[in-house]
Structure 1
Amino acid sequence: ILKALARQGEQILDLEGIAHHRGSSYGSVGLPPQPSTEQFENIVAIDWADLDACRPIWVEAESRQIGRCRIPDELFGPMGQAPVVQVMRSRPERVANLLDDYGGANRDELVAATQRLQKRLGGLRTKEAIAHIQAEELAPAIEMVLDYYDKAYTYDLQKKRDVPIYPVDITGLNPAQAAQAVQQTLPKAIKTAPTKPAIASSRT
């Protein structure tokens, strides 16, 4: 959606693209090596300097760490105060998208990423998910992992009690249509924000 927003003239800051990481235990699978934190911060600073702070800047809601790259405090603070557009789509579409992203990934990398989630998934569910991966049954493995991440995302949103949250359902929409749907929330977000936001955050 970020890339579609950019094609439609919106300002974006693609932190995951800069970090070469998708921001989860599986974030590095199939991607080039990550830059150092110093390199990451330098690229972010250069990209940020090209943006107009008087216009909204779209970023994906991230934890402070994206893999081994750390978001600078000067950016992470405003991100936490910005209105949130909660991007939602149906579970089948999410599974299908993840199959597109990871279907061709190295299975050993997928297993290693799943093992890193063992404390959160639990031993039994981790073993079951790994068994599905090794049996080339990625869809049920994805379903199991999504259960964990959905709970984590819900918890993150619940912590944002002082920030307006605008849900948008993009089920059935292509990226261009989804970007348009997301943009329709923007006037409302700006109007209700305590101060004019520089950043609008979204999470799928």
Structure 2
Amino acid sequence: MSHRQPVRVADRHAFDTLIDARSPAEFALDHIPGAINCPVLNDEERHIVGTVYVQTGAFEARRIGGAMVAANIARHLRETLADRPENWKPLVYCWRGGMRSGSMVTWLRLVGWDAQQLAGGYKSFRRHVISQIDTLTPKLDLRVICGATGSAKTRVLHALAARGAQVLDLEDFARHKGSLLGSLPGVAQPSQKHFETRIGAVLESIDLSRPLYVEGESIRIGRLSLPLPLVARMRAAPCIEVSATPETRLAYLLRDYAYLGDDRDALADKLGALKELQGKETVSRWQQWAHEADLPHLFAELMSLHYDPHYQKSQELHFRSWAKRQRVVAGDLSDQGIDAVADAVLALDSGAASPSA
């Protein structure tokens, strides 16, 4: 077998399969999109080897770890990799392109596959993601979809994507709807690194000569922070406002957030965070409605007393082109109404006349 130079991150797409040889916990935190996890040490084994290294020394750690690595690679060959054809070409990586991925590459080559190792491992990929965000973000032809709470902005993005438009769905990547009540039941937010990885993957794949639609967001979505270059680009980009009546928006919110009535105590607890802004008496009333699952009254007052009063000011503060925004009027926010909004948004870019849906 001839020795091969490790593969650069930019050349990773030339391989049939990306194999992440790190532990499941490392993989869960972040990984290269599309990679499969074939750990050469699981989380417990990695801890054991690290402890032996500290307490006994490198040789004993390698001896114990080597036996674990051999057993795990053998299992992957019997199970996950058992159906791979003779001409299969995998690219393997670990934390920084060291012993874990090197061990797996050695065994895969012994089998006869053209396995190669990613230079610098996951750490080089992480540097690549940051570089892509820093380099590509200033070149984006962004269109920021804005609108008061309940304007179905995320659904408009989905409808735009269905029509072939380029879309960056930050709330999907963050697994959060972006507001005080935006956490999704039973769904944890990803790590900051994985959030950025998914953003970088979109930026790497789009046509920079075409518009990219994104929802107007604050600097944070739940506990995750938007990359600062993206925040700066969004703040300078043209805005398109989806305009709907309070009644239309309330009807949409009651459909889109209906699940909040399933855990009344959790909803009441979240509302407690507003006491300093809205006062104890108002928030107590909202919490009572939460305990009763009276979402129509609760959402109506949240809109009129909390979200809407701050909307105009926050948009003016965050988006420099807000005064020159284009507006699409949504007659309704049913599925058909949202489709009509998306058509009207695309018509703005094509120069067509109708700004209403």
Shorter-chain TM range is: 0.7 to 0.9
Q: Deviations over 1:144-176 (max 9, x none)?
A: 111211122211222235453112211225221
Alignment of 1:52-91 (within 5 A): 52-91=207-246
Contact 2:181 2:270 in 1 (8 A): yes
Percent identity between the two aligned chains: 31
TM-fit CA distance, 1:187: 4.8
| Residue identity opposite 2:311 in structure 1 | Y
Task: Call closer, same or farther: CA 1:29–1:117 in 2, change over 3 Å.
Answer: farther
Normalising by the residue count of structure 2, what TM-score does the alignment of the two structures yield?
0.50
Q: Which residue of 2 aligns with 1:155?
A: 313
Aligned residues of 1:23 and 1:62 also touching (Cα < 8 A): yes
Tell whether 2:281 aligns with 1:121.
no
Instruction: Report the structure number with the largest CA radius of gyration.
Output: 2
CA distance in 1, matches of 2:187, 2:332: 31
**Residue of structure 1 in register with 2:166 after alignment:** 11
* Aligned residue among 12, 16, 20 for 2:175: 20
Farther-moved stretch of structure 1 (122-131 vs 155-164): 155-164
Q: Does 1:179 align with 2:336?
A: no
User: Aligned to 1:142, which of 292, 299, 314?
Assistant: 299
- Which residue identity lines up with residue 80 of structure 1 in the other structure? R
Note if 1:165 corresponds to 2:325: yes
Q: Which amino acid aligns with 1:165?
A: R
The residue that corresponds to 1:130 in the other structure is 287
- Provide structure 2 residue ranges, at least 5 long, that are not aligned to the other structure: 1-155, 352-357
Moved over 3 A (4+): 160-163
Shift of 1:31: 5.6
2:315, 2:252 → 1: CA distance? 23
For the residues of structure 1 that align with 2:327 and 2:179, how far apart are their CA atoms? 22
Q: What is the CA deviation profile of residues 18-74 of structure 1, one whole-angstrom value per residue up to 9, with x for unaligned ones?
A: 000111110104261001111111111112211112111100000011011111112
Alpha-carbon separation, structure 2, partners of 1:119 and 1:24: 17
Hey, what's the Cα distance between the residues in 1 that align with 2:203 and 2:228? 14
Aligned residue-pair number:
188
Amino acid at match of 1:112: D
SS at match of 2:214: strand
CA distance in 1, matches of 2:264, 2:326: 37
Aligned to 2:190: 35
TM-score when scaled to structure 1? 0.85
Residue segments in structure 1 that go unaligned for 5+ positions in a row: 189-204
* CA distance in structure 1 between the aligned counterparts of 2:170 and 2:195, rounded to whole angstroms: 9
Within 1, Cα distance between the matches of 2:267 and 2:238? 33
In the other structure, the counterpart of 1:194 is none
Shift in Å, 1:108: 2.0
User: Quick one: higher RCO (CA 8 Å, sep 6+), 1 or 2?
Assistant: 1
Counterpart-to-counterpart distance in 2, 1:65 and 1:47: 19
Specify the code of the residue in structure 2 equivalent to 1:12: V
